[in-house]
Structures are given as C-alpha cells and as structure tokens.
Structure 1
Amino acid sequence: MQAVLGAAFPVFALILAGALAGRFDVLDGPVTGALNRFVISLALPALLFDVTAHAPLSQVLDWGFVAAFGGGILGTLLLMVPTFRRQSLTIAALRGLNATYANVGFMGIPLCAMAFGPASLGPVVIAVIITASVQFAGVVALIEIDRHAGSGAGVARLVASRLARNPLLIAPLAGLLVDGIGLAIPSPIGAFIKLLGQAASPCALVATGLFIAAHRADFRSRTVVSLVTLKLLVQPAVAWLIAAPLLHLAPLPTAIAVLLSALPTGTGPFILAEAYDTDRGPAAATILLTTVLSVLTVSALLAVLSPV
C-alpha cells in the first residue's frame, strides 16, 4: 500500500492543486492556456526526445506492447460500433476518441516512472506517439472527410501538415534518429534538454487540474456514463486480455499497457470539439469524470500491478 501511495499520491495531489488553483482564481484562464502550450510545445517534447535518444531502439519499439495498448483502443472502438450507426461521422469519431484517448503524456509518464522505474519510459513513449499522433490524426481525418466529402487529397494534405508540425511526434522521432546514428549530444545541450523535460510532469498535472476547474460541465447523461465506463474499465480489460492470455507478454510490459489503458481521458477530444465547435459538453464531462474517478480505479490497479 505504501508503494501505491508513493506512486499515485503525488500525481493526484498535483492535479488537485491545479483544480483548487483554478477554482479559487489563483491561476486564471490565460495562465491555463499558456501552461498547456508550454507542456505540449516545449517540456513534453524535450522529455520524449531525452528518453528516445538514450533508450535502446529495441526497448522503445516493443511490438508486443504496441499490440496490447493499440489493441485495447481498437477493441473498445469495435464494442462501440452499434452506437456509431446512429451518429454522424464527426460525432462518432469524437465519442470514440473520448472513450479511448488515454492521458498518457500528462499522467502516464509520472505514474509509470514512480511505479515501475525508468525502464517503463520506452513503452510510454510509444503510447504517447499512438495517442498524440495516430489517434489524433485519425480523428482529424474522419472529421475532415465528414465535412469535405469527395476532397480526399485535401484531407490528406491537411492531416499530413498537422502531423508535420506536431512536436509530440517530431521529438521522439528525432530522438530515435539521434540514437540510431550514434550522434553524441554535447553535455550542455543534454543538460538543458533534461532540465526542460523534468518540468513536463508537474506542469502537465497542474494543467490537468486547471482544465477540470475551467470546464465543469453537465454530465448527467447516459452517453457520458457509457464513455466513462468504456475508458476506465473496458479499455484496460481488453488490453489485459491481449497482453496476458493472448500474447503472454512479460509482467512489466503487460502492467504498463494495462495501466496506461486505464488512465482517464486526455484533453485531446475537448481540443478537437472546441476547434470544430461540436459536442463540447460530453468531451469536457468525460475528461472531468474519468479524471476524478481514476483516483480510485488507477490506485486500485496500481495495488495489483506494482511490484512488491
């Protein structure tokens, strides 16, 4: 229990600190936006670059982990197919993202580092790439296809341009390139990157709390309850079924895949809902409820998954 508290308490305490700071106007809306941009554009890319530039390529490219974590996403989406038939492609894409978009970058990195140690960060980088790039780009493509039917080339160019400017994709790929060619990073630059990356986790967690304080929404609907259940219970269960009984992965990648799949919904769905001016309520409510309830669900899961 002490190990679980040691891993979970600092993470949720920082989220609570952010929520209280937002609730009592210690930090206002403009600060929240600036902090989010700092994390996404500078601190988190620096951390991802630092991890991939110093991790063995075989450790980062763990295809069994990719199958388990990615399979948890795909399996959950398949279970949602009957509900998609009654919705437009845009709403279906956003609801699917709400139910499967784990908050890997903001919560997964600090949780895994404290629960499983530095060896867990390679798979976490893969999960960040899957969520921040593959999932995000896929939903953008579906929404643009729905809005611009028949202009396939234009949609492809739009998605490609967004990915090419996404620092959460560029940074780990640059790190892999540096590691692959054996390029030595000068010590002063390496120290700068490491120091900047160390700011990612605390700032990201406080930003999560600020988001919750700023977007308290009406969540009294069956839609949101369904999305919360899929995210916190169904997705990690599917990931475990793939990792353990099906692929027989080692305990560490299995634990990481399940824990990351059980994380609450990240802010990506709300960012897209805001950008496209649609379905904002369910997105904000799902993020709020999954984050609050994950205090219980993730802590319970850590008690099972953390090494003794």
Structure 2
Amino acid sequence: MHTVVSVVLPIFALILVGWLCRKSNRLGPNAASEINRLVVWLCLPALLFKVTATSSWAQIWQPGFLVAFTGGCLLVFFATLGWRLWQGRALPAASIDGLSASYANTGYMGIPLCLLVFGQDGLEPALIASLLVVCVLFAIAVVCIEVGLQSERHIGRAVAVVLKALLKNPLVVSPLVGGLWAAGGVALPAPLLHFLDLLAAATTPCALVSLGLFLAQKQEGPRVGAWPLVAIKLVGQPLLTGVLAYKVFALPPLWADSALLLSALPTGTGPYMLAEYYQREAPVVSRSILLSTLLSLLSLSLCLLWIAR
C-alpha cells in the first residue's frame, strides 16, 4: 500500500495545485483550456516524437506482451464504444468514454510503480505499455472522434475530410514522424534531444494542473456516467488482460505480472486532453480520472498481493 500511495499522492497534489490556483484566481478562467493547448500542441507531441524516434524494434518486440496488453486495451475500448453507441451517444462522445475506460496512466504512475515493484527489469514493459497507450490506443480514439465529427455524406469526400483533419492533428503526426526518424537509423542530435526532454517533462504536470483548474470551474453539462467507466477500468480491464497474459499466452512471470499491474492503473489524463480539446464530455472524464485514481489505491494493492503470491 505504501508503494501505491507514494506514486498516487503526487498526482492529487498537482490536481490540487491547479484547483487552488483557480479558486484563488491566481490563474484565470481560460487557464485550463490554454494549458491544455500547450500540452496538446507542444508537450505531448514532443513526448510522442521522442519515444518513437528513440525506440528500436528489438526493444518493443515482445509479441506475447504486446498482444496481451494491447488486446486488453482495445477490447475494452471497442466494447465500451459499442455500448455507448447503443445507448444513443454520438461517436465522438462514445469514443472519449471508451478511452476513459481503457487509457491507463502508464507514464506517470506505471513507470515508477513498475520500477518500485520489479526493479530495473520493470522499466521495459512499462515503457512498451506507455508507447502502446499513447501511440496506438490514443491514435485510434482520435481517428474515431474525427470520423464522428465530419459531416460529409459522400464516402470519398468523407475520407478526405478525416485524413485532412488527422494530418493536422499533432498527436497523430508526431509519433508517425518519430517512427520515420527511427527507421532512418539516425540518432537525435543532443540539442534537439534536450529540447524534446524539456517539453516532454512538462506533459504530465501541465495536464494534471489543467485538470485541477477545470475541476475548480463551474462545470456545464452532465456529470453522470463516470462510475461504469471507472468499474470497467479498474476491474474489467485487469481481469481481461490477466486472462490473456496468464492463461492465453502464458507469459513469463515478469511480463505477465507487469501486464496485469499496468492494466489495473487508473485512467490517465489523455481522455481529458481530448475531451477539453474537442469540447466533449469533459465533466464526465475529469470525474472518471479522479475516482479511478482514488480507488486505484485498492485495486493496485490487490494486484500487488496477487503478484506477491
């Protein structure tokens, strides 16, 4: 429990800082939106580019782990997406709900937690999971949102509209450019790498402070619907991923345990970034992040007890 608390408390501290800054009017009513734009257009693209540009195929090629962890994420995402569409939600809102139920906080919580639990060996699965979450799951959600937002009826024009929107989206372009850079086999110059490090390091604190600022404002729109997403995230996803990791693919202990622990993490700030950026479902998403982070003290502790068996 102490291990989990030591990782979770700084998250609440950053959210609280943003909340206090808005309540005390140290930061204005537009601060949440503007800081989130900073994350979406500068910090997160720098992180995505750096991660993909500095990764090698040998590092990320762990087939069983890739399929187990990604399979758990995508199955939960599309199941939640289908459920929300069946309830009558529009595709953009349903996509953000699906992301809230499947987007694990692998970067800020997963990496330090795996290092604490598994030692240096835990860094590799945590990094691979972070790459999958931000470059695969996140990108699929962006595609679904853009498809839902386009209003063209002609299939050819519709595809053109979606592709044009995606090519303008920094969260899609940056990992693609990073992958092309990595394929070229050229190392990033030291000044560029340092520049990217500075921007990338600001991603999580800025996103969490922006979330706190948003929560301090009077929120318009529905807030109901967060609890099912939290239950799916903290119970459904780790159960599904655990079955894939332990039973279906019979992964080695380190990789199976890592897949389970990483899938049990609470919802990260990615869904909130998209909800705020696209002006969709932000109250529900912010509530999901807070509730899942708080309840993850219990769910992660149970996973640690299972791992220590």
* Cα drift, residue 201 of structure 1: 1.8
CA 1:175 to 1:195, structure 2 compared with 1: closer, same or farther past 3 Å?
same
- Report the TM-score, using the length of structure 2 for normalisation: 0.79
Q: Which amino acid is 1:258 matched to?
A: S
Q: Is the aligned partner of 1:259 residue 2:264?
A: yes
Mapped contact 2:91–2:145 kept (Cα < 8 A): no
Q: Which residue of 2 aligns with 1:155?
A: 158
1:128 and 1:26 mapped to 2: Cα distance? 32
Displacement, 1:124?
0.6
Q: Which sits farther off after the overlay, 228-237 or 166-175? A: 228-237
Aligned AA for 1:41? Answer: W
Asked if residue 213 in structure 1 is aligned to residue 226 in structure 2, the reply is no
The answer for the alignment partner of 1:127 in structure 2 is 133
Q: Distance in 2 between matches of 1:303 and 1:126?
A: 24
Aligned to 1:141: 147
CA distance in 1, matches of 2:211, 2:223: 22
Determine the structure 1 residue equivalent to 2:179.
176
Take 1:248 and 1:33, find their aligned partners in 2: how far apart are those partners?
A: 44
The total of aligned residue pairs comes to 294
Q: Aligned in 2, Cα 1:91/1:273: closer, same or farther, shift over 3 Å?
A: farther
Matched residue, 2:90: 91
Preserved CA contact (<8 Å) 2:226 2:288: no
Q: Distance in 1 between matches of 2:102 and 2:84?
A: 24
2:91·2:148 contact (CA, 8 Å) conserved in 1?
no
Tell me which stretches of 4 or more aligned residues in structure 1 moved more than 6 Å.
none
1:157 aligned counterpart, secondary structure:
helix
What residue in structure 2 maps to residue 290 of structure 1?
A: 288
Cα distance in 1 for residues equivalent to 2:113 and 2:60: 18
Aligned 8 A contact 2:36 2:277 in 1: no
Task: Give the distance between the partners of 1:20 and 1:245, measured in 2 at CA.
Answer: 46
User: Matched residues in 2 for 1:79 and 1:188: separation?
Assistant: 43
Correspondence for 2:120: none
Aligned pairs (5 A) from 1:25-104: 25-60=25-60, 62-63=62-63, 64-75=65-76, 77-78=78-79, 81=82, 84-87=85-88, 91=90, 94-101=93-100
Q: Supply the AA of the counterpart residue of 2:2.
A: Q
> What is the identity, as a one-letter code, of the residue corresponding to 1:108?
T
Which runs of 5 or more structure 2 residues have no equivalent in the other structure? 116-122
Q: What root-mean-square deviation, in Å, do the aligned CA atoms of Structure 1 and Structure 2 show?
A: 3.2
Paired residue secondary structure (1:266):
helix
Q: Which amino acid in the other structure matches residue 205 of structure 1?
A: L
SS at match of 2:264: helix
How far 1:14 sits from its partner (Å)? 0.9
Whole-angstrom distance in 2 between the partners of 1:178 and 1:269: 26
Q: Distance in 1 between matches of 2:84 and 2:193?
A: 49
Q: Which runs of 5+ in 1 are unaligned?
A: 275-279
- Between 258-267 and 48-57, report the one with greater CA deviation: 258-267
Cα deviation, 1:253-298, whole Å, max 9, x if unaligned, reads 4136413575577225634763xxxxx5xx2332132122123322
The 8 Å contact of residues 72 and 240 in structure 2, kept in 1 or not, is answered as yes
Matched with 1:188 is: 191
Residues 126 and 148 (structure 1 numbering): CA distance in 2 closer, same or farther, change over 3 Å?
Answer: same
Give the whole-Å Cα distance in 1 for the aligned partners of 2:80 and 2:182: 39
Answer yes or no: is the 8 Å Cα contact 2:100–2:267 preserved in 1: no
Q: TM-score, normalised by structure 1?
A: 0.79
Give the whole-Å Cα distance in 2 for the aligned partners of 1:4 and 1:248: 26
What letter is aligned with 2:264?
L
Residues 166 and 44 (structure 1), Cα distance of their counterparts in 2 relative to 1, 3 Å cut: same
193, 207, 210: which one aligns with 1:204: 207
Give how far 1:36 is off.
0.9
Shift of 1:197: 1.5
- For 2:236, give the aligned amino acid: V
Cα distance between partner residues in 1 of 2:84 and 2:4: 36
Kept after mapping to 2: 8 A contact 1:44/1:200:
yes
- 1:231-250 alignment, distance < 5 Å: 231-249=233-251, 250=255
**Cα pair 1:100 1:231 within 8 Å, conserved:** no
Change (3 A) 1:192 1:268: closer
- 8 A Cα contact 1:99 1:231, kept in partner: no
Q: Distance in 2 between matches of 1:76 and 1:196?
A: 29
